[in-house]
Every structure is written in structure tokens, then in C-alpha cells.
Amino acid sequence: MTGGVIKRSIEIAGHRTSVTLEDAFWNGLRDIATARGSSVRSLVAEIDAGRGEHNLSSAVRLFVLAYYRDEASGTTGRRKKSSGD
């Protein structure tokens, strides 16, 4: 597994914000966005809109974890359909 923490600036709803994630989470986020035919920026905006009280970096980590847990259990396709994707 590769290394450290990477901080990136992303524009969401017209303002720039920084997101700090481990490389594995950036890779997972990119792969999920690609699988959905989306961009990382729009996926992060979607996560931001539904994150509640979690900070954005934590919300992204939880989203990536949930995606891969669903994928491992075979429920990823059902989750997409139920969320309107």
C-alpha cells in the first residue's frame, strides 16, 4: 500500500475547500467516480451535500468505505438504483 496523506483543493458550490485524504482514499474516490461516469469534483459535491455533521474528509472516507463494503457484499448495484443514479 502506498503512502501518506495528500491535501487537494476542490471547488464545491462555487467555493474552494481543501480535502485531506490518504492516497488509497483518493484512488478509491477516483475509481468510484469513473465507475459512475462522474468526476471526482461532482462526487465530492454529492458527498458534501449529504454529509451532515461529519467533516468533509471523514465523510469522503466513510463514503469510500461504504461503497467498497457494498461492492464486496454484492449490493453496490442495488444502492445505486435506490439513490436514483
pTM of this structure: 0.80
Specify the DSSP element, H or E, that contains 66. helix 56-73
**Cell numbers standing for residue 69:** 463494503
Give 23-45 as a 3 state SS string: HHHHHHHHHHHHHCCCCHHHHHH
Per-residue pLDDT at 77: 57
Instruction: Report whether pLDDT(78) > 60.
Output: no
- In this prediction, residues 2-19 reach a mean pLDDT of 90
CA dihedral (54, 24, 19, 40) in degrees, to 10, reads: -100
Question: Backbone phi, then psi, for 3, in 5-degree steps?
Answer: -50, -135
User: Residue 29 is part of which domain span?
Assistant: 5-82
Total of domains in the chain? 1
Neighbouring CB atoms inside 10 A of 63's CB total 21
State the CATH number of the domain containing residue 37: 1.10.3990.20
- In this prediction, residues 67-75 reach a mean pLDDT of 91
